[in-house]
Structure 1
Amino acid sequence: MMAVIGVMAVTVVIGLTITAATVNGLGVTSSNKALVQSRAAAEAGVSVVVAGMSGAGSCPATFASSANPKYSATVEYLNAAGTPVSCTVASQVKITSTGTSQSLGVSGASSGDTSTVEAIYPYTPALTPGTVSSGAAIYLANGANFNNGGLITSSATVPAIQVKTGNLDCDNNTVITGSVVVVTGSISLKSCTVTQDAWAFGTTTFPPPGGTIGGILRASGSRPPSHPLARWNPTMPMPTVPVWTEFGYNRNDWMTSAGVLFDENIRPTTAGNCPLPQNNGANPIIFNALNCGGVSDSGDVTLSNDLVVVAKKFTFANSMNFRSSTAAVHRVWFITPDLVPAGNTATCSPGQGNFTIGNNLQIDAPIIAMLYTPCGISTGNGFTWRGQMYAGTISNWNNAVFGYIGVGLPGADLGAGTYTPGGSSGSPPVLGTLVSSRDLVG
């Protein structure tokens, strides 16, 4: 009898062991199955995010699926250092996706029920239609002569004046609030003040009665005697000054933030100047005067929207004000196209001429203006300007008041010297090639 009981006990133990092993095996098997499913769901979430963000016009932050495979994903926008920033300035994105298995683990084996995957991609933000400001306050391809007083004001981060070739000559009580960079030439300040830093490949001189540079001076040759030794650094690195941006005329460049082309008013052929219209109507418009000898003034101009004026040359002989019809900010561009789009040099072609101000010109707040000409700028009896200037040279500067406000040119990066036709149409965000991917635990 005892032998029978012993055999039965052994049988029970073996049965329980087999049952436990079977249950444990089922748990491991179900957990592995769940892990495969949850991992696949998490990776599917990453794929959905990548597909959803490519070409998206907004900045999505979350993605989720209630159907199988189930996933929940978040998007974090980062700068190059990995710090969270706005999607409009981000250079990379981090996608964190958590997947849930369809068949959950059994017998308490739940470790594979969810999986989390982190993936990092390079990111180029979307560019909305319209013009993006870039470049210096005043860029000159071939030198400048500020010779009869005035005030030039720029921000601390944008150079007041960039001169690619040629010299910068300044005299007669002109004040430049900002920094100046002269890449190949020299600087001469006679009764002239630069409030911040100055760089010159050549020498810098202060002819009598002298000039002032309020920041650090880097120049060739010896230090000007009146410039303090503490602010003299002939080895200070020179900021990068871009090549001349070749900008012609392409109507498809000019587009509103809604992606709608500007209207265009094409003037008939005439050897004389075409007078500038005194208002521009309700819609943004291009006044195309390339068939005219140039554009001349016709009295004050009241803007109800943005205005582009394209002409071979500009002659504003009389006093003239550009005003807004309301308190709204409107932009005006004065464009003399560079007809030789090669070599990154300012080419003033035959038939083209300077942007000339004879008596006075006022860009009244809240209007802001951009001037682009491969020719020169010449002023007679002063003007007031709010915006930017990009020109071949300044041959005469007479009692002008200039205040920098970024305007830019469509499709152009004036800080890099590049131009893409139709660039103002905008572009969707772009994800680059996967940088890293890893499983997150816990």
Structure 2
Amino acid sequence: MSGRGLHRLRERARQDDGVAIVAAVSVAMLVGMLALAIVAVAVYETRATGRDRARSVAVAAAEARVDKLIASIQATAPASLPCGQLTDSFTLAADSVDRTATVTYYDAAGAEVPCGSLATTRLAQAAIRTTADTGPIVGTQPAERTVETLVRLNPSFGNDLDKAIFGNAGVRLANQANIYGQNGQPDADVYTNGDVYCSNNQHFFGSLIAQGQIRLENTCTIEVDAHARTGITATNPGVTINGRALVSSGNISLGPAKLGQQARASGTVSGNVCSTSGKCVGGQSVPAPATATFPILNWNATTQSEWAANGYTTVVTFPRTGFACGWYNGPNLVGRDGKSKSLNGKADGVGAWMYANAWKLTGPTILVSTCTDKVTLQGVDVAINDNLAIFAKGGMTFSNQTQIYATTSIHRNLYLIQPYDSVSAPGSCGDGISLDNQVTVQNTVDVLMYSPCSIRKANNTEHYGQIYAGGTATIDNRLEMYYQPLPVWGVQSATSSVEYYNLEILYKRENA
């Protein structure tokens, strides 16, 4: 190649070197820009992920604080309830969480109750609001979340009358009965110093406790325990005991029944469920059922003073002018509906007075009947405007589509009491109180039925409250019962104080 050709090649190479440098610099700049973009995206995503995590931690921390306060309220005596503004802090992994909770209580009228008055005021609702703050992540605002709830408070009283049904001589349920606990809880216990007979289609949301035997036929479901002294017998595959079957001085025969936990007896244990190892254990030392003595509630000056000390200062005594013992045969009376109605042959003197006056009560009231005749309502609706206690020497009988209801949405207590000292032979005196043929009580009226004699409820009835029979408590047909303990005064060892509150959650939500 000539010298001129070599010179041209060298000149072109020098020109290509310049282009390569420019290209290399451009590629380096592009890679740098991409790297910066990747780093920026990574930083953004890290912050976003951290922010999302912080939000999740905040809402979980707020809800956890609300749940803890709910549990605390349900397990705490009124004087020690958490109240007002409460703060706490904790560290979870990389997050430091500060929480501020506010607990506010309200009475039945909706008025706020000061923290210092919780022990002396009947509470109806509690509002809980908790805000959790996880602190800021660099370059972001703090993650703050608020959870709030409103709960209804149902009082549980510290007294001896703590059973849903107490039949001193026995409990007999013939057909279709559902005994529900408080707020869905399995606490509607049924107790007797005699025997329990469940004949058909009953569901107990609590335990059956008998000093005698428990006999379960057809479809009977017990959500907790069946605990008897002398024996338990089940004869149908529709029988279910979701808790334990316990007998301290006898045998257990479960047949084809279902059992959730274990059957233990001092004698023998048999049944289909015993094919599962460890399910049935006989020849054991089994504790006897805890003994409960039928409470004594008399009507006397001491009882009256105790009720008066708790607001029942108005006492109306029968017989009285216009409302004698026996059937009412007076002029027409005007009830809450404003209509004049003849009650001749439909009510006794006390029942007639209730129809005409209970809807106008201005405070807790006691009706005392010294008549040997029963307080009677036959197809007569009664509205009550305040708490009402009836102490009737002759007992009571309501029937023929009688309805009892409150004049407002505020819960009222109705006490149907035949005093213990009104009969000469408690437990052997027939039916002291009977509710027959579609007697309906509105769900805003809680009823305690107490008699030293037997108590019978029959044919399509509802009941919110308790039944205490010194004889046999008999449910003939179709009872829907919702256990609600009522405060009682004048009973041996009973107190009127609220022991704790059961909670019903009305709502729980995040509030942004």
Greater than 6 Å deviation, 4+ residue runs:
125-131
- Alignment: residue pair count: 295
SS of corresponding position for 2:305: helix
Corresponding residue of 1:138:
165
Corresponding residue of 1:319:
401
SS of corresponding position for 1:254: helix
Q: TM-score, normalised by structure 2?
A: 0.52
- Mark the CA change 1:330 to 1:191 in structure 2 (over 3 Å): closer, same or farther: same
SS of corresponding position for 1:398: coil
SS of corresponding position for 1:190: coil
Corresponding residue of 2:190:
161
Corresponding residue of 1:265:
316
- Mark the CA change 1:386 to 1:229 in structure 2 (over 3 Å): closer, same or farther: closer
Structure 1 distance, partners of 2:260, 2:482, is: 31
Structure 2 distance, partners of 1:158, 1:326, is: 28
Structure 2 distance, partners of 1:157, 1:367, is: 21
Structure 1 distance, partners of 2:205, 2:418, is: 28
Higher RCO (CA 8 Å, separation ≥ 6 residues): 1
Matches within 5 A, 1:387-398: 387-392=465-470, 393-398=472-477
- Mark the CA change 1:399 to 1:138 in structure 2 (over 3 Å): closer, same or farther: same
Corresponding residue of 2:244:
216
Note if 1:206 corresponds to 2:234: yes
- Mark the CA change 1:205 to 1:321 in structure 2 (over 3 Å): closer, same or farther: same
Note if 1:347 corresponds to 2:347: no
Larger Rg: 2
- Mark the CA change 1:201 to 1:251 in structure 2 (over 3 Å): closer, same or farther: same
Corresponding residue of 2:437:
359
Q: Deviations over 1:364-407 (max 9, x none)?
A: 12111111111112233121001111112123431110011111
The AA in structure 2 aligned to 1:409 is: V
- Mark the CA change 1:179 to 1:85 in structure 2 (over 3 Å): closer, same or farther: closer
- Normalized per residue, which structure has more helix? 2
Q: TM-score, normalised by structure 1?
A: 0.59
The AA in structure 2 aligned to 1:270 is: C
CA contact (8 A) 2:458 2:479 kept: no
How far apart are residue 362 of structure 1 and its match? 1.5
The AA in structure 1 aligned to 2:166 is: Y
How far apart are residue 139 of structure 1 and its match? 1.1
CA contact (8 A) 1:338 1:348 kept: no
CA contact (8 A) 1:338 1:347 kept: yes
Percent of aligned positions that are identical? 20
Q: Deviations over 1:127-168 (max 9, x none)?
A: 8999945411111111011001121112446352011x2210
Structure 2 distance, partners of 1:402, 1:389, is: 10
Note if 1:176 corresponds to 2:204: yes
SS of corresponding position for 2:371: coil
Structure 2 distance, partners of 1:267, 1:193, is: 44
The AA in structure 2 aligned to 1:410 is: W
Corresponding residue of 1:286:
366
Structure 2 distance, partners of 1:225, 1:275, is: 50
Corresponding residue of 1:122:
none
- Mark the CA change 1:178 to 1:229 in structure 2 (over 3 Å): closer, same or farther: closer
The AA in structure 1 aligned to 2:468 is: Y
Q: Deviations over 1:158-181 (max 9, x none)?
A: 352011x22100122111121111
SS of corresponding position for 1:253: helix
The AA in structure 1 aligned to 2:461 is: F
CA RMSD of aligned residues (A): 3.4
How far apart are residue 224 of structure 1 and its match? 1.5
Corresponding residue of 1:225:
255
Structure 2 distance, partners of 1:261, 1:357, is: 25
Structure 1 distance, partners of 2:232, 2:226, is: 9
Unaligned ranges ≥5, structure 1: 1-83, 91-124, 413-417, 427-442
Structure 1 distance, partners of 2:381, 2:78, is: 42
Corresponding residue of 1:79:
none
Structure 1 distance, partners of 2:168, 2:291, is: 10
Corresponding residue of 1:274:
349
SS of corresponding position for 2:308: coil
The AA in structure 2 aligned to 1:304 is: N
CA contact (8 A) 1:275 1:297 kept: no
The AA in structure 1 aligned to 2:196 is: L
Structure 2 distance, partners of 1:240, 1:348, is: 21
CA contact (8 A) 1:306 1:331 kept: yes
The AA in structure 2 aligned to 1:362 is: T
Structure 1 distance, partners of 2:120, 2:421, is: 27
Note if 1:400 corresponds to 2:479: yes
Note if 1:310 corresponds to 2:391: yes
